[in-house]
A and B are shown apart, each in its own frame.
Chain A
C-alpha cells in the first residue's frame, strides 16, 4: 500500500520557539498510525498544519502526491485536541451541518448521523444539546463529527483522553475498521498500551524532529534480542553472569531478563541454563511500545 499523506520538511516557528523543525514523514493507507511524542513535541502543530490551521514557515503537506488545499481537506476528518462543538446546538443538527460543510447532501448527512450515532453507542442523544452530554458522550459525538462524511484521511488529536475502557474499545474498533476500509488514520495519544493495541505503525517526534517511524512489530523486535530465562534451582541467575556477550538487565521473581549481543548463539545460552538446573521459562521478549518510546527519546 502506498503512502497517501506526505509531510515534507514542515517548519513552524513561534517567535524564538521552533515547534516544527524540518519534519518529514508519511502515512500509508489502510493503517492506523500512532503519532507519539512528549508534551510540546509538536504533534498538535503538525496535525493543525495538515488542515491549514497554522501557517508554515516552510514545508509542504501532500495528499496523493498533490499539495493539500481546501478541496482535499473536505475529504479529511479532524478531531482537535481541544474538542470543538456548538454547546447549545442539537447533536443531530450539528453533525448534519458539519457533514454538509464537507460536501454531503442533506439526506446523506441525516442518514450518516443516524448510522454513526448508533455505531458509537449514542443513538438516543440525537436530539440532545451537546452541553447536556457527559464528557465521554461528547467525545463520541466529536468523533462522529470527524467520521460523518466518510473521510479518506482521519486525523485525531488525543481521541482516547478521558474515556473509560468501553469508550476506548468502541473508538478503537471504529479506527481499525476505517483503516481496513482503506482510510488513512493518524492519531496521537499518550496512552501507549492502547496505541500498541490499535496501531500497526507509529511515528515518534520530539522538539519538532522526527525521532523514529515504522511498524510496531519492527520497532518492538529491533535492536538487541531480549530473552527471559527462569532456572528453578538458580533464581539469582548466577549461571548467566559469566556468559560472554550476555547482560542481565533485570531479575524479576526468579526470571532473568537477558540482553544478547549479535554474536551470541541462543542455543548455547539454553544449554548453559539447562546445566544450571531445570529451565521452566525460555522466551524471546518483544519490547513494549513504552520501551521503544523511552528508548527513542533517551
Chain B
C-alpha cells in the first residue's frame, strides 16, 4: 500500500519534471528566465501552486476534511465498539440436560458467533421470572421446551433469535433420536456427522472486510470526485466571470492555465485522500478493526488509484463546462448532466458492493472510463478482478482521459474568453473561434 503510494507520487513528480524540461527546451532562448525558489516552477507549476495555496487556506477544505475524517472514524470505531458490547447469551436450564446436549447447546451458540452461558434454574417459574427481568435470554425446560421473553418473529435476526432457532433444531433432533430408540453409539455417530464439502463453479459472494472497505472507498471516491469537480467547475467559471482570465491569458496559453488548475486541485485532492486513507489505516490498526483485514488494504490502494484516474478523467470535462458559464445558475444547468454518469456508476457499484453479486453488465461498467472509478475497486473488493483486468481498465481510462482532455482543452480555449452569456456547444465547435 505504502509502496503503491510512493510509486504513484514518484511517477507524477518525474513526469512533471520531464514535461517542464521539454517545455523549457521548446521555448528556446527567447523565453525569459524562470523564477528561482518556491515549491513549483514554470507557468503550470505556478498556476498549480496558487490553486493549492488558495484551496488549503479556504475553510471549505478544512471543514470538509474534518467532516470526512469524522465519518471515517465513526465507520471504523462504531463496529468495534458494537462488537465489544456483545454480551454472552444466558441460557437457563430447568431440569436435567445430558452432557452431550449441553455441549450441543454451547456449540449452537458458537456456530452463530455467540458465547453461551448455561445457568441452572430451580424451576420453571423462577426461569420465567429471570426471563422477564432480563437475567436470562433463553430457558430450556426439561430438555423439551424453549422459552424466550418475547415471541420470535420470522424476520428477527437478533442473537437470541438465532440461538433459539439453532438450539430448537438441536434439541428437536435429539428428541427424534430418542423417539427412534437409537443406541448410544448410533447417537454418538450421528452427533459426530460432518457436512460434506460443496464445490462452486464460480467464485461465491465475498463476505467480510473487503466488501465493507469497498463501500467506504466508494463513498470516498464519490464524495471527493463530486467535491473536486465542483471546485474545478466553479473555479474556471469565477476566473471567467471576474475577467481575471484575460490578464492571465495575456501571459500564458489557455492550455497552461487549464493544466495548472486541474493539477493544483488534483494535488489537493490526492493529498486529502491520502490523509484520509492514512488516518483510516492508523485508526483501524489502533482499535483493532476488522475493516482492514483480508483484501481490504488492496481495495483501499485500488480506491486511491481510481480516485486519481477518475479525477483525471472528469476534471477536464468539468473545466470545459466551467469555461462555458459565467453565472451560478448557468453552472447548475451544466453540472447536472455531467453528474449523471457519476451518480449512475456510484449507485450501481454501491448496490453490487452491498449484495456481492456482480453481473456481466457491471463487468462492462468496470472498463468504461466514466464508471470504472466506481466499478473496478468494487470488483477488486469482491476478488473478481485479476491484476491484468485492473491494468486493462486503467489503460482504457488513460486513453479515454487523453481524448477527453484534448476535446476539453479545445472547448476551454474557445469558450473561456467569450463573455456576456452562456456559450453553447454549437459555438465552440464552429470554425469561428474566439
Q: Which residues of A contact B (CB under 8 A)?
A: 13-15, 48, 51-55, 70-76, 78, 80, 82-89, 97-98, 100-107, 109, 145
Contact = CB atoms under 8 A, between A and B. Distances in A.
A190 B382 CA distance: 70
Contact of B250 (A15, A76, A97, A100): A76
A159 B114 CA distance: 80
Contact of A75 (B32, B243, B244, B419): B32
Contacts, number: 94
A48 B433 CA distance: 14
B251 A74 contact: yes
Chain A interface helix/strand/loop/mixed: loop
B359 interface: no
Contacts of A102: 32, 251
5 contacts: A13-B432, A51-B246, A55-B434, A70-B253, A103-B32
Given A51-B250, A85-B242, A97-B46, A104 B417 contact: no
Interface stretch (B36-44, B177-185, B283-291, B295-303): B36-44
B248 interface: yes
Size class of the contact patch on chain B: 20 to 34
Contacts of A51: 246, 249-250
B276 to A, nearest CB: 26
A13 B434 CA distance: 10
Contacts of A105: 33, 35-37
Interface of B: 27-28, 30-38, 43, 46-47, 50, 54, 239, 242-253, 417, 419, 432-434
B244 A101 contact: no
Contacts of B43: 101
B250 A83 contact: no
Contact of A54 (B47, B54, B252, B417): B417
Q: What are the 7 tightest A-B residue pairs by CB atom distance, in nearest-first order? A: A103-B32, A84-B243, A84-B244, A71-B30, A78-B250, A51-B250, A80-B246
B250 A53 contact: yes
Contacts of A87: 242
Contacts of B239: 86
B27 A71 contact: yes
Contacts of B27: 71
B254 to A, nearest CB: 10
A88 to B, nearest CB: 8
A101 B248 contact: yes
Nearest to B36: A105
A88 B53 CA distance: 13
A98 B419 CA distance: 22
Nearest to A15: B432
B45 to A, nearest CB: 10
